[in-house]
Amino acid sequence: MIYTCTMNPAIDLFTEFDSFEPHVVNRSIFEDYQANGKTINISFMLKKMGIDSVATGFLGGFTGMYINDELKRTGIATDFVMISGITRINTFIKAGAKEYKAVNRGPEISSAAQAQLIDKISKLTFNDLLFVSGSLPRGVDDSILKKISRLSAKNGFKLILDVSAKGLLDCLEDRPYLIKPSDEELAAWLAVDPESFNNEANLMEAAETLLKKGAQRILVSRGEKGTMYADGEKVLFTTAPRGEVVNTACAGDTLLGTFVGSLISNKSLEDALVYATAAGSSTAFTAGLSDLKDVPELMKQIKLTTHMKGAKES
């Protein structure tokens, strides 16, 4: 079974304005409320691909109930730890060419609630796959990631990590199945200038560093520059399709979910990366998550480049 773990989920409010000015009442021309959180988005995208998953993590209050109900309404099973706080609400504002993101910190998670989540994860076996993505809520430190990675190594389930916390580096010795940083997160972990990754050779070298530390695979989201995948045997680059960017908040989640979903559906590595790159862009071109309908057309714009054993193939 596939499990998706979001420790700091949210209701995301997407709004659009003709203009957005301080000290006056700004009236929206569009609004949309969505159950959100990085791996919650992955569960939604997997469901759109016909793949079932179980969503877990922490939920609380009326906002948490809304998220739980939305997941169940779309046919996604849930197994959350319920907390006493209120799950956060984030706001994303589009006004002309400008985009504003107001992300709240969320509730504090007790040590008892954390222990409940670890207990749930401890029951996973070699037949399971677990996504852990997103920010850590208040009261939770990086050590929880290490606890999860140790369980993965002990129990044999596949672990996919998409977290910005530097504590991810401590998890690499447990050989996670896949990690998905953005190019900026990767630069921060390695204390290098993110602009240096405009040179693909530098990005490949950075990925190799993490592979040598234990990651089995790495998928790097690069925004308008596309994506990179590396696994020690080969490195793949894709360009990104063109379109009007509406909201970038969930593009990386869509990329990761559809990439892994495509591999589960027995697509080749190359086809999975092209499809996922198009799907991630499709989400960036809409207010919420992609419905995947425009993905085939977007795929036609994408160029794939393969590097293998020192040779480059197009």
Residues 54-71: tens digit of each pLDDT: 999 999 999 999 999 999
Residues 157-175: tens digit of each pLDDT: 999 999 988 899 999 999 9
288 compared with 78, residue with greater pLDDT = 78
Which of helix, strand or coil describes residue 167? coil
pLDDT of res. 50: 97
Q: Give 309's pLDDT tier (boundaries 50, 70, 90).
A: low
Residues 87-142: tens digit of each pLDDT: 999 998 989 989 898 999 999 999 999 999 999 999 999 999 999 999 899 999 99
Please name each of the domains of the chain with its CATH number: 2-20+29-313 (3.40.1190.20)
Mean pLDDT of the region 243-249: 82
Rounded to a whole number, what is the distance in angstroms from the first to the last CA of the chain?
Answer: 35
Q: What does the block give as tokens for 190?
A: 């390695």
Most confident of 93-102, 148-157, 189-198: 148-157
Q: Whole-angstrom Cα distance, residue 159 to residue 148? A: 8
Mean pLDDT of the region 175-187: 95
Read off the DSSP letter of residue 84: S
- What stretch of H or E contains 91? strand 88-95
Q: What does the block give as tokens for 211?
A: 């592979």
Nearest by Cα to 230 from 181, 162, 171, 279: 181
Percent of the chain whose predicted confidence (pLDDT) is above 90 = 84
Beta bridge partners of 236: 229, 306
pLDDT of res. 244: 87
Give residues with Cβ within 8 angstroms of 62, minimum separation 6. 86
Q: Give 287's pLDDT tier (boundaries 50, 70, 90).
A: confident
Average pLDDT of the chain to the nearest whole number? 94
Q: Whole-angstrom Cα distance, residue 140 to residue 129? A: 22
Q: Give me the active site residues, please.
A: 253
Beta bridge partners of 12: 34, 90
Residue 137's identity, in one-letter code, is P
Percent of the chain whose predicted confidence (pLDDT) is above 70 = 98
